[in-house]
């Protein structure tokens, strides 16, 4: 505590209001935040380094695991860069399928966000409703790709699975249902006084600051910045599809909510167009195992904003450098600005409103034995054994259960 | 073509950029510059050509030197990738946060992962490595192998 009456409060890295580890140091005067600083990196897993030691195909699956929500965004951004270097022209049908999965992913991500936002403001009914509806799109993703997350649909030169007539019919049915539900949420979002009052004027980011701080995605668009990679730098099938870039001039959390809700409607529209215009033909072209020397920068409009991948190839089957700049790293820097002069109680929703994803952002978990101070990295296997022993010490033993399960399957 | 105009304008303004600008495809320009010229080129790009935002900063180990690419974008559309090389024996950069506030985290990545010193960076937390990460270990350098540390 200082003489001025300012109090410094650490917030995180583990905190009930945060969904992932990140740490803020807030300076409070009374209930108001006067200054803040953010420390991230708790989820750093060294994926960029790991990519240099693996083949392009292995990297594709590794990169897809950067994030459990926008996994398709990362794998598409990466694969596009590799295809550009190798000079591969992806078949049209494959581009459309990639776009389809991309939009389905946006729907699931935005619905997920809406639920989290509801939860952060104490409106848990909204969380229950939206997450129930989100299951509809998760089922569609699982139907088309075989997976709920980490879809594994991309490969270098196209996609791995085609879509069937039945899958198209199911998807269209699901989109109709989700559209109805989203209309209802828009109605709630625009009419329900408690939502409007709770979110309006909270977490202000002026258009000028949005540009100056490099905000991306719905965070920037809710500050009136009309920036969307799908329009500005079209990739996959977006150049052939008709859609609107949603912006809002409220510059606050409420604006960010409206932008995401309206973007859902655009996504339904896009999915219908894709399925109607889906060209016939092959879904993949043969890709070389060794990628010729070269470099490319690929951009992708992930649900949270621009995802940028830089790949440099050296003529071998492994890349020389893979760089990932996920949207949250661009947006997190705007959070301090949004928190300025706001109440402590606004902190969770302001942070949630950029829809942060720190798995994406931090990309090496290094666990060290703090007691021995010998700075040795503890291997995964040892950690696993230690955790089993720790639970045994507490009287919980899963080894019998594991054996039973193993015998059953 | 817009990209062509940008190339011509840059070549006209900075004669040393002649033959150093490649338009790889629509909306992708690669520019090679010397470290000494970096700030005058960035200054011109920001103030006169509208490259107001930096999308990312890529650092890489090139053997004898480090390569650093500033990925600048104009209205979200054209991406200009400005590359410089800095000597490995004394890797130093000056911060570009004076132009792009968001470059702070990107520059800290260069500090942590490649061991490039960035002069002028505001005091703050390190990123992305843990606070107790051993000194002098820079994982993105090519001679750094995970197996040596396990």
Q: What is the pLDDT of residue A174?
A: 97
How near does any CA of chain A get to the CA of B108, in Å?
Answer: 11
How near does any CA of chain A get to the CA of B37, in Å?
Answer: 23
**pTM of the complete model:** 0.89
User: Which residues in chain A are closer than 8 Å to B27, comparing Cβ atoms?
Assistant: 233
Task: Please say if the pLDDT value at position A173 is more than 80.
Answer: yes
Superfamily of domain B2-139: NADH:ubiquinone oxidoreductase Nqo5 subunit (3.30.460.80)
Q: Contact A310/B71, CB-based, under 8 Å?
A: yes
Return the domain boundaries, chain B. Answer: 2-139
Q: For chain A, positions 201-230, list CB contacts with chain B under 8 A.
A: 211-214, 227-229
Q: What is the pLDDT of residue A368?
A: 42
Q: Give the pLDDT confidence of A63-79 residue by residue, as tens digits.
A: 999 988 999 999 999 99
Q: Give the pLDDT confidence of A364-397 residue by residue, as tens digits.
A: 333 444 455 555 566 666 777 777 788 888 787 7
Q: What is the pLDDT of residue A366?
A: 37
Q: Is B137 helix (H, G, I), strand (E, B) or coil?
A: coil
Q: Give the pLDDT confidence of A248-279 residue by residue, as tens digits.
A: 999 999 999 999 999 999 999 999 999 999 99
Q: What is the pLDDT of residue A336?
A: 86
Give A15 or A291, the one with higher predicted confidence.
A291
User: Which residues in chain A are closer than 8 Å to B129, comparing Cβ atoms?
Assistant: 41, 44, 364, 366
Distance CA A354, CA A343 (A): 17
Q: Give the pLDDT confidence of B96-123 residue by residue, as tens digits.
A: 999 999 899 999 999 999 999 999 998 8
Distance CA B132, CA A368 (A): 9
The whole-number average pLDDT for the span A288-306 is 96
Task: Please say if the pLDDT value at position A399 is more than 80.
Answer: no
Q: Give the pLDDT confidence of A201-252 residue by residue, as tens digits.
A: 999 999 999 998 999 999 999 999 999 999 999 999 999 999 999 999 999 9
Nearest Cα residue in chain A from B128: A41
DSSP string, A112-165: HHHHHHHHHTT-HHHHHHHHHHHHHHHHHHHHHHS-SSS---EETTEES----H
> pLDDT exceeding 90 applies to what percent of chain A?
68
Q: Contact B28/A296, CB-based, under 8 Å?
A: yes
**pLDDT under 50: residue ranges of chain B:** none
Closest partner residue to B125 among A39, A213, A321, by Cβ?
Answer: A39
Q: Give the pLDDT confidence of A86-95 residue by residue, as tens digits.
A: 999 999 999 9
CATH number of the structural domain A47-361 = 1.10.645.10
* Least confident range of A9-18, A107-116, A311-320, B18-27: A9-18
Q: What is the pLDDT of residue A375?
A: 54
Return the domain boundaries, chain A. Answer: 47-361, 373-409
DSSP string, A161-226: ----HHHHHHHHHHHHHHHHHHHHHHHHHHH-HHHHHHHTTSS---HHHHHHTT--HHHHHTTT--
Q: What is the pLDDT of residue B11?
A: 96
Q: What is the pLDDT of residue A406?
A: 63
Among A49, A363, A376, the residue to mutate for chain B (most B Cβ within 10 A): A49
For residues A21 and A14, the answer to whether their CB atoms sit within 8 Å is yes
Q: Contact A296/B24, CB-based, under 8 Å?
A: yes
* pLDDT band for position A407 (cuts 50, 70, 90): low
Give A263 or A35, the one with higher predicted confidence.
A263
Closest partner residue to A41 among B76, B101, B129, by Cβ?
Answer: B129
For residues A60 and A327, the answer to whether their CB atoms sit within 8 Å is no
**Tokens 């937390």, located at residue:** B125
Distance CA B150, CA B147 (A): 5
* pLDDT band for position A5 (cuts 50, 70, 90): confident
For residues A334 and A205, the answer to whether their CB atoms sit within 8 Å is yes
User: Which residues in chain B are closer than 8 Å to A53, comparing Cβ atoms?
Assistant: 146
Distance CA A155, CA A301 (A): 19
Q: Contact B54/A214, CB-based, under 8 Å?
A: yes
CB atoms within 10 A of CB A148: 14
Question: Quick one: tokens of A88?
Answer: 């591969």
- Identify whether B128 is preceded by a cis peptide bond (ω within 30 of 0): yes
Nearest Cα residue in chain B from A378: B150
User: Which residues in chain A are closer than 8 Å to B76, comparing Cβ atoms?
Assistant: 227-229, 232-233, 306
Distance CA B50, CA A127 (A): 42
Task: Please say if the pLDDT value at position A52 is more than 50.
Answer: yes
Touching check for A329 and chain B: CB below 8 Å? yes
> pLDDT exceeding 70 applies to what percent of chain A?
90
Q: What is the pLDDT of residue A1?
A: 45
Q: What is the ipTM of this complex?
A: 0.96
The rounded mean pLDDT for chain A is 90
């Amino acid at each position: 505590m200082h003489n001025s009456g300012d109090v410094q409060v650490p917030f995180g890295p583990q905190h009930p209001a945060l969904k992932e580890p990140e740490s803020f140091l807030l300076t409070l005067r009374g209930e108001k935040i006067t200054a803040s600083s953010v420390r991230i990196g708790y989820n750093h897993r060294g994926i960029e380094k790991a990519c240099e030691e693996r083949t392009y195909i292995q990297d594709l699956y590794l990169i897809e695991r950067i994030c459990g929500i926008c996994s398709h965004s990362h794998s598409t951004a990466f694969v596009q860069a590799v295809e550009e270097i190798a000079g591969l022209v992806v078949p049209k049908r494959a581009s459309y399928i990639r776009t389809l999965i991309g939009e389905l992913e946006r729907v699931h991500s935005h619905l997920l966000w809406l639920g989290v936002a509801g939860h952060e403001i104490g409106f848990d009914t909204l969380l229950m409703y939206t997450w129930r509806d989100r299951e509809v799109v998760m089922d569609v993703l699982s139907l088309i790709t075989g997976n709920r997350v980490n879809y594994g649909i991309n490969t270098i030169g196209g996609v791995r699975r085609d879509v069937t007539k039945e899958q198209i019919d199911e998807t269209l049915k699901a989109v109709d249902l989700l559209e109805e539900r989203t209309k209802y949420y828009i109605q709630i979002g625009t009419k329900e006084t408690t939502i409007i009052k709770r979110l309006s004027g909270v977490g202000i980011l002026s258009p000028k600051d949005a540009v100056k701080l490099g905000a991306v995605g719905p965070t920037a668009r809710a500050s009136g910045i009309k920036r969307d990679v799908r329009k500005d730098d079209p990739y996959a099938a977006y150049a052939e599809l008709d859609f609107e870039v949603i912006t809002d001039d409220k510059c606050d959390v409420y604006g960010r909510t409206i932008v995401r809700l309206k973007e859902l409607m655009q996504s339904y529209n896009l999915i219908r167009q894709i399925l109607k215009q889906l060209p016939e033909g092959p879904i993949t072209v043969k890709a070389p195992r060794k990628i010729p020397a070269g470099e490319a920068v690929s951009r992708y409009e992930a649900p949270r904003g621009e995802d940028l991948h830089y790949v440099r190839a050296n003529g071998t089957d492994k890349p020389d450098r893979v760089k990932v700049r996920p949207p949250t790293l661009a947006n997190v820097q705007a959070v301090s600005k949004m928190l300025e002069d706001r109440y402590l109680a606004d902190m969770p929703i302001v942070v949630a409103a950029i829809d942060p994803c720190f798995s994406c952002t931090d990309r090496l978990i290094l666990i060290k034995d703090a007691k021995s101070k010998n700075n040795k990295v503890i291997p995964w296997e040892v950690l696993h054994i230690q955790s089993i022993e720790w639970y045994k010490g507490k009287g919980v033993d899963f080894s019998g259960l594991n054996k039973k399960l193993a015998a059953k399957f | 073509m817009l990209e062509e105009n940008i190339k011509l304008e840059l070549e006209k303004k900075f004669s040393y950029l002649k033959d150093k600008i490649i338009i790889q495809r629509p909306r992708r320009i690669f520019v090679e510059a010397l470290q000494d010229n970096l700030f005058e080129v960035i200054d011109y790009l920001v103030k006169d050509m509208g490259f107001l935002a930096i999308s990312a900063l890529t650092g890489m180990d090139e053997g004898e030197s480090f390569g650093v690419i500033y990925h600048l974008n104009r209205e979200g559309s054209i991406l200009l990738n400005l590359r410089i090389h800095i000597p490995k024996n004394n890797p130093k950069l000056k911060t570009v946060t004076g132009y792009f506030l968001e470059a702070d985290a990107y520059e800290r990545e260069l500090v942590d992962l490649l061991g490039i010193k960035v002069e002028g960076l505001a005091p703050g937390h390190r990123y992305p490595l843990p606070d107790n990460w051993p000194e002098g270990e820079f994982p993105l350098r090519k001679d750094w192998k995970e197996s040596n540390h396990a």
